[in-house]
Each structure stands twice: as C-alpha cells, then as structure tokens.
Amino acid sequence: RLQKGETTAYMWVTLAELEEIHRQGRLAFPVAYRFEQFRTMFESMLSPST
C-alpha cells in the first residue's frame, strides 16, 4: 500500500533492498514471512492476471 508521496519506483528500490537482505538470511523469520506475502501481493498487482 503506497503512502502519500511514495512512488512505485521507490517501492521497487525498497523491494530490491529487502530482497538482498532476505537472500543473505538477515531477515528475522516473522519479517521474512510478511515480506514473502507482501512481495507476492505486490507482484500480482503489477503483473497482468493470467
């Protein structure tokens, strides 16, 4: 969910940074779980439904 003033590009940068942290295993489990849910939701919003 975009906050006022945030852009999709900003979201992508944040997502990329989170992805790197997640890949390195530095994300706490509950956060990683929520991140997976968020990433799935965010990608489904940007991708055309098949």
pLDDT digits (tens, 9 = 90+) for 8-38: 666 666 777 877 877 887 766 667 677 788 8
Mean pLDDT over 2-11 rounds to 64
Question: Which positions ≥6 away from 39 have C-beta within 8 Å?
Answer: 15, 18, 19
Q: Indicate if the pLDDT at residue 49 is higher than 70.
A: no
Tokens of 25: 């295993």
**pTM, to two decimals:** 0.34
CA distance 11 to 37: 15
Question: Which positions ≥6 away from 42 have C-beta within 8 Å?
Answer: 11, 15
Question: Which positions ≥6 away from 32 have C-beta within 8 Å?
Answer: 22
